[in-house]
């Protein structure tokens, strides 16, 4: 007998879930109750939803599920400030999510989520790129990562302050599921994370930046720029050959002007690749009169042979930007000891599986 595929509650906006519950002949408030159990209490087994009548719990279990991501493996940073998860999906694919604790308010944390299994963008310095592209994640598989990270090790969603779409994959190439997951994460009955505390990052899918601008979602947009000129960016982020810097900056400036929201410019500093004084000068020129903030991220050591510049070079790069009137800070790449560069835990798991480890 063909069992009908269950609907994962984690991928339903509340109004959609309410309609489905009403179709079952139940009152809409039941949907809000169940949503609360899943997102606020981390209960994913209907049997544990004690204020729902037992008959309804049984009917729910036939039609719905709430478990798209299962923690397969995790690694905790030496300073305990970051935890990286390898999460398995129903089809056996593995994705990564990271939980990063706030260094000032230790009870608060950010979850960094993946949006695709693998990635088609193929950035030169990225471990995920080496996997190639496998598939897009559903909205449930995106919100499910937040759920798995929040409730791991008896944790709760109470301290969840920010969600960043910066894990495996290019979010704007999985546009509909990303937008839907943002709405669910923001929903007061789900995780209730303010739109302003949600960041969607892109390697530069220019038309989708303009589409996102019209969603009326006051999230933060982050552009992974990494180079101030096309010749270098073509090599580092091959998507640049399709949407070059001029086209991208047009999209970013329009986004900032229309939404009134400051765009974050991510710039991974790689030793002897994009860290020259002349690169900083060009970057400052490019970003002049743009409502933006530059995050300089020293390269996380990976297997690709790239490395971070010396600290003095990083400060000099930043100072050139700041002296030119560009808002810039250096972000520490936390989690170096837990393989926190995207794609690294996945590769480690694949190696272990190939070696016959039971994971």
Beta carbon nearer to ligand SF4, 130 or 253: 130
Check: CB of residue 95 under 8 Å from CB of residue 87: yes
The two three-digit tokens of residue 260, written as one number: 């009134």
With binding defined as CB under 6 A, does residue 122 bind ligand SF4? yes
User: Which residues are CB-neighbours of 210 under 8 A, at least 6 positions away?
Assistant: 251, 254, 255
Check: CB of residue 227 under 8 Å from CB of residue 236: yes
Beta carbon nearer to ligand SF4, 49 or 89: 89
b/e for 54-87, b at 16 or more Cβ within 10 A?
A: eebbebbeeebbbbbbebebbbebeeebbbbbbb
Pairing of the two strands 94-101 and 292-298: unpaired
Within 10 Å of residue 346's Cβ, how many Cβ atoms? Answer: 25
**For the residues of 141-200, what is the DSSP string, one character each?**
HHHHHHHHHHTGGG--STTEEEEEE-SSS-GGGSHHHHHHHHHHHH-TTTT---GGGEEE
Find the DSSP H helices in the chain.
14-23, 29-35, 54-63, 139-150, 175-186, 206-213, 230-236, 245-259, 277-287, 311-323, 344-354
With binding defined as CB under 6 A, does residue 245 bind ligand SF4? no
**Which of residues 168, 227, 245, 326 is near ligand SF4 by CB under 6 A?**
168
Beta carbon nearer to ligand SF4, 132 or 325: 132
**DSSP-based three-state secondary structure for 110:** strand
Binding mask 218-237 for ligand SF4 (x = CB under 6 A): --------------------
- Tell me, yes or no, if 112 is annotated catalytic: no
Beta carbon nearer to ligand SF4, 8 or 170: 170
- Tell me, yes or no, if 23 is annotated catalytic: no
With binding defined as CB under 6 A, does residue 121 bind ligand SF4? yes
Q: Which one of the spans 9-17, 123-131, 294-302, 304-312 is the region binding ligand SF4 (CB under 6 A)?
A: 123-131
Smallest separation, CB 167 to ligand SF4 (Å):
8
With binding defined as CB under 6 A, does residue 123 bind ligand SF4? yes
Beta carbon nearer to ligand SF4, 49 or 200: 200
The two three-digit tokens of residue 80, written as one number: 């305990």
With binding defined as CB under 6 A, does residue 117 bind ligand SF4? no
Q: How far apart are CA 24 and CA 293, in angstroms?
A: 49
Q: Which one of the spans 8-16, 44-52, 114-122, 278-286 is the region binding ligand SF4 (CB under 6 A)?
A: 114-122
With binding defined as CB under 6 A, does residue 147 bind ligand SF4? no
**Which of residues 170, 266, 275, 279 is near ligand SF4 by CB under 6 A?**
170
User: With CB under 6 A, what is the number of residues at the site for ligand SF4?
Assistant: 12
Q: Which residue in the list 18, 96, 141, 170 is annotated as catalytic?
A: 96
With binding defined as CB under 6 A, does residue 129 bind ligand SF4? yes
Smallest separation, CB 122 to ligand SF4 (Å):
6
Q: How far apart are CA 356 and CA 352, in angstroms?
A: 6
Q: How far apart are CA 103 and CA 107, in angstroms?
A: 9
Question: Site residues for ligand SF4, window 176-205 (CB under 6 A)?
Answer: 203
Catalytic residue set: 96, 342
**Residues within the interface to ligand SF4 (CB under 6 A):** 119, 121-123, 126, 128-129, 168-170, 203, 342
């Amino acid at each position: 007998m063909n069992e009908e595929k269950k609907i994962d509650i984690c991928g339903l906006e509340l109004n959609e879930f309410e309609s489905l519950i009403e179709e079952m002949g139940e009152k809409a408030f039941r949907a809000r109750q169940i949503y609360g159990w899943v997102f606020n209490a981390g209960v994913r087994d209907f049997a544990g939803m004690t204020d729902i009548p037992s008959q309804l719990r049984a009917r729910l279990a036939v039609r719905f599920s709430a478990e798209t991501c299962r923690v397969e493996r995790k690694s905790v940073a030496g300073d305990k400030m970051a935890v990286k998860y390898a999460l398995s999906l129903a089809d056996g694919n593995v994705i990564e999510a990271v939980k990063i604790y706030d260094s000032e308010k230790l009870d608060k944390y950010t979850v960094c989520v993946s949006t695709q299994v693998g990635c088609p963008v193929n950035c030169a310095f990225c471990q995920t790129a080496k996997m190639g592209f496998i598939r897009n994640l559903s909205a449930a598989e995106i919100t499910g990562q937040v759920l798995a990270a929040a409730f791991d090790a008896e944790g709760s969603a109470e301290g969840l302050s920010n969600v960043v779409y910066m894990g495996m994959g290019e979010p704007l190439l999985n546009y509909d599921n990303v937008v839907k997951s943002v709405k669910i994460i923001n929903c007061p009955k789900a995780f209730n994370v303010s739109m302003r505390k949600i960041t969607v990052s892109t390697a530069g899918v220019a038309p989708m930046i303009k589409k996102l601008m019209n969603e009326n979602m006051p999230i933060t947009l982050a552009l992974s720029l990494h180079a101030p000129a096309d010749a270098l960016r073509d090599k580092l982020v091959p998507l640049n050959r399709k949407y070059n810097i001029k086209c991208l900056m047009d999209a970013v400036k329009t986004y900032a002007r229309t939404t009134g929201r400051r765009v974050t410019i991510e710039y991974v500093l790689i030793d002897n690749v994009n860290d020259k004084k002349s690169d900083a000068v060009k970057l400052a020129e490019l970003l002049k009169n743009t409502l933006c903030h530059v995050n300089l991220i020293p390269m996380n050591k990976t297997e690709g042979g790239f490395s971070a510049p010396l600290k003095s070079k990083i400060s000099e790069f930043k100072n050139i930007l700041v002296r030119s009137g560009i808002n810039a800070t250096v972000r520490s790449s936390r989690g170096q000891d837990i393989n926190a560069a995207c794609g690294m835990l996945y590769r480690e798991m694949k190696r272990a599986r190939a070696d016959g480890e039971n994971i």
